[in-house]
Structure 1
Amino acid sequence: MTTASTARVGLWLIGARGSVATTTIAGRAALAAGLTPPTGMVTALPPFADSALPDLDHLVVGGHDVVDIPVPKRAEQLVAAGVLPHGLPAAIAAELAAADAEIRHPGADPAADIADFTRRHDLERTVVVNVASTETDPAISTGYAAAAIAAGCSYVNFTPATGMRGPGLAERALAAGLPHAGRDGKTGQTLLRAALAPMFAQRALDVRSWSGTNLLGGGDGAALADPAAAAAKNAGKERVLADTLGDLPEGTVHIDNVPALGDWKTAWDHVAFDGFLGARMVLQTIWQGCDSALAAPLVLDLARLVARAHATGMSGPVPGLGFFFKDPDTGPAALGEQYEELLTLAQTLRARP
């Protein structure tokens, strides 16, 4: 039987001073200190208990960002927005400051920053996770993926950016013995779609149209106001329906920037479908939530799983991680089937030294 790993592992965040990254940093510190339960963390469930995943108190955090607002200040802003609980930044002030001290402005050689971080902290390995706002220039995300490979690190793309799908990068990662996972974290509306679409398919109900609207603010809302950025995001939402239902039903997805919402979002779906004898029916759903609080535990899950996969010698796309993504590298589209594959991965990691 394996237990949790005591190896020191690096978590290098691209977009390290953003809302998702700051919530991840604060959440890791709060969990390690026993200040909060692991709500929303899949790897805290019993099937993963003996998979030798790195302990959260052995994760060392650093990253890249072009933003100058320090992580402690960003945490205070998230308290004011209702994302983080009152009093938490003060309780974990040292951890927030330590993470902020390891954040670098991206320069000419980001791989050198990552390698230096790994070396200075005597880490067994580092996982690079992209949680930056959606970018329309693919060279930015592919550059970070290439930097992860050059630094000998595994890579997770939690955004809809190109990342490891840039020309030749997946092949380079495989040749270097590096695992990776992506892309675009599945946190809200698409998570619900992935759960509901199989219901229609399995009950032989004919979906005539499926439309949706997203209202969100914050950095993502501003970034997704760009039609090109929104198109990349919507492609993942549509892929879930097409892969599960067999083809893409009529309908569109809109993403609207509402700055007043800040780090909160509302997603609405309208599904028109036919029942027996052509009876016309409609399902409507409303999802309201905080994207940072939904995403942060998944970032920690992925860092732990990919770090462990790297330790066991896995390379290339890690099977079983499609559960976390809108546009996964491998595996089925239906949420239930994805979860079964994830449990298989947990068994595989449990069985390996």
Structure 2
Amino acid sequence: MRFVRLFSRRLLTLVPVLFGVSLATFFLIDLVPGDPAAIVLGANATPEQLEIVRDELNLDQPAPQRYISWLSGALTGDLGRSYVPPEQSVAEAIASRLPVTFELAIAAMLIATLVSIPLGLLAALREGEPMDAFVNAVVIITVSIAAFLMGLLLIYAFVLHADGTRTATLVGGLLIAAGLAATALRERRRPRTDRAPRTRSRLVSGAVVLAATLILWRFWPQLPRQGFSRLTAERGVLENLRSVALPAMTLALVEIPVLTTAVRSDAIATLQQDYVRFARSRGLSTGYIMRRHVLKPSMMTFLAIAGVSVGRLLGGAVIVETIFGLPGMGSLIVNAVANKDFRMVQGAVLVVAAFYVAMNAVVDAAARYIDPRISDG
């Protein structure tokens, strides 16, 4: 398959990046002033304990030999052991935390994608109109809010004042649906030659908004303030989705403005192409043109930014996991740094870097697969 070939080639080119990250993370221990074993165990450590840690860390060996030994173990899944209580295998600790951060990042990107692509296309289609101005205003407001503040605002709205938010959602949805219906009915009273071509779409949009509002009102979720329920827990998938909803929404709302702007800019340029004008001259519907002729060419910048967004999501997960009490990689790295747990920091940073490199390879391969004009090399 072409996508697999593209992904493999791109991944090979990123191997030197991962090698450089492994060098940087490993030699962090050599940059620490003083005896690393004493820093790990603390001032109350006995000489016997210090000797054991020095032996485990191979501090008596030259740095290149220690690096080769550590890297060979990492390639086989052995990242060493943590000496900070509770003492545990670094690989096991990461294996228990990585799925939480992975699910959080995937959920956030899924939400951001499902929201930003329609918003960007709609703003481009209505360029210069009130809808475009509204989308731009929402983008400007949202992009100005930091991740930690966004999380606190969501907690305030969906946990501390959930009933008020539910009522406001109902009122807002009803007003929007009524406004769309009223506009469409006014246009229907005009002569047929003067009617706007969007009368039917406004009626459909109003019906969709009304249905979505009523469904939300009936099945308004009760979201937890903190904690995480794993998929393997007794409460199952629904409880897992409830526990990850607010953190994922927090990260998604940070990414939506950037992705929406990217889609809008590319879509505006695509709508001005000759083949799109030709499709319109043939009488093809706007929905068909947007799906078949505009969507695909407008995804190039989106995909490029999505690859960078993975890094931002992993970085933002540190703050979000702390706010919502999630046992993910972010909180693991923060605790390891605070406890001077060198082995845990080395292993966690290496795994996060490998994940980031792999995701960038996927995004780059997807861009080359979608647009044949980009060289396969």
Q: TM-score range by the shorter chain?
A: under 0.3
Which protein has greater RCO, CA pairs closer than 8 Å, 6+ apart?
2
- TM-score when scaled to structure 2? 0.21
Q: Which has the higher helix share?
A: 2
